[in-house]
Amino acid sequence: MFGTRKITGLLSPVRFFCAVLIAGTSPDLIAAERLPVIKLQVETQAITAEVAADDTSRSRGLMFRESLPRNHGMLFVFQEASQYCFWMKNTPLPLTIAFINARGEVINLADMEPFALDTHCALAPAKYALEMEQGWFKRHQLGAGSKLRGLPSP
């Protein structure tokens, strides 16, 4: 009788069509669709940022992304302020990371090279980290002490 047999594994029609859709979709779109997006202001510059606020999204970060739209980045949000460190495993984009304290002030910046495994760490306890296209902060003359507005609560 139709509907009484449970279909599992790769033969499941639902799983099959989901696999086909995912296989034909770029990793950039898959990742971007899952994360909330917010608007931030760094001094006079407007940014659109995807928010990575849980362990899974923070671990994935911008891995496998081939490009970022203009003035677009990823904001990492942490529950507790600490001296977090980042690396560029599986990340083909050159990025600059800004470590940000609980008051929204940039602590320090670090340029990160594609696929590099060396770590880049906050110089003081950070509550946020913002990754942007490499050189974005320098082009806009932003650095340590610059203030961000619109940051979400952890």
**pTM score of the predicted model:** 0.78
Q: Which domain holds residue 71?
A: 35-149
Q: How far apart are CA 117 and CA 152, in angstroms?
A: 29
Structural domain tally of the chain?
1
Is residue 92 in a domain?
yes
Residue 20 lies in a domain: no
- Using alpha carbons, select from 102, 45, 95, 104 the residue that is nearest to residue 73: 95
> Which residues of the chain register pLDDT less than 70?
1-33
The DSSP output letter for 7 is P
Query: What local confidence, expressed as pLDDT, does residue 33 receive?
Result: 52
Q: What pLDDT was estimated at residue 20? A: 37
pLDDT tens string 142-153? 999 999 999 998
Classify residue 106: in a domain, yes or no. yes
Interval 111-152: pLDDT, tens: 999 999 999 999 999 999 999 999 999 999 999 999 999 999
Query: Considering the domain boundaries, does residue 154 fall inside one?
Result: no
Report the CATH number at residue 70: 2.60.120.1140
Instruction: Tell me if 9 is assigned to some domain.
Output: no
